[in-house]
Amino acid sequence: MSKNYQSIVDWEFESGVLLKFGKLRHLEEMLERGRIRFAGAKSYGEATLTLAQQDNELEVEVFADAAEVRVQKVNERTLEPTSDINPIGQVSFALESLSDYYISCMTSAFDPRFFNDFGADAFLLITDPHRFVERIFSAFGPIARGWTGKATFVNYYDPQTAKVPKNVFFEKNIRYEYQKEYRIAFRPPQITPLLESFFLDIGSLADYCEIIVSEALNIEET
């Protein structure tokens, strides 16, 4: 087994790293060329994805009890309140992004179920996340002038108790909390209803990354 491969049996998790689960053939390209796939957030609603991957990444919805909500009818011309409306039952609030945006997702935790959840047989271990993210931003900037980018951990919210967040880009329902997602997102300067996925090449990652293969794989010595 080469220096950039290790069996999951021998690997021990350490904090301060990022993990990218996927198919070995794709992770090898990522290791050798720094070939990173960015997908449009809208594509995560596709039925072809696993249940762990599927989500409406363009919308955040939260709920509140009617007794805690004040609803007013307003004058269409002046926008001044004209009367109160008494809602019944639960009231839902939705924040939606009108534009698609690019995301690439990783995790800061290890859980054996991720192999099944993400249809993976290996993962890329990123031991220098800061360097990794810096290289992505350096490569993306020149080809996407005017775009806004950010990399951070996802915030998980309980839709029954949370307030409406300020944006949708790093918010996910608490049912996904076990995934401990770290996300890199890029937003276009204009509203773009649909973005096609693309690959960004940032150069070899071999200096600070290695591939951890599942027990089911047998990688020969090289």
Q: Domain locations in the chain?
A: 5-58+97-213, 60-96
Collapsed DSSP state (helix, strand, coil) of residue 106? strand
- Inter-CA distances, 6 with 12, 32, 182, Å: 10, 16, 23
Q: What is the mean pLDDT of residues 71-81?
A: 81
- Inter-CA distances, 146 with 40, 99, 139, 151, 188, Å: 17, 15, 14, 17, 7
- Determine the residue type at 82: T
- Determine the residue type at 35: R
Tokens of 213: 């293969």
Share of the chain above pLDDT 90, in %: 61
Q: What is the mean pLDDT of residues 30-38?
A: 97
Q: What is the mean pLDDT of residues 190-212?
A: 96
CB 175 within 8 A of CB 159: no
pLDDT in tens, 128-176: 999 999 999 999 989 888 999 999 999 998 888 877 777 899 999 999 9
Tell me the pTM: 0.82
Count CB neighbours of 87 within 10 A. 14
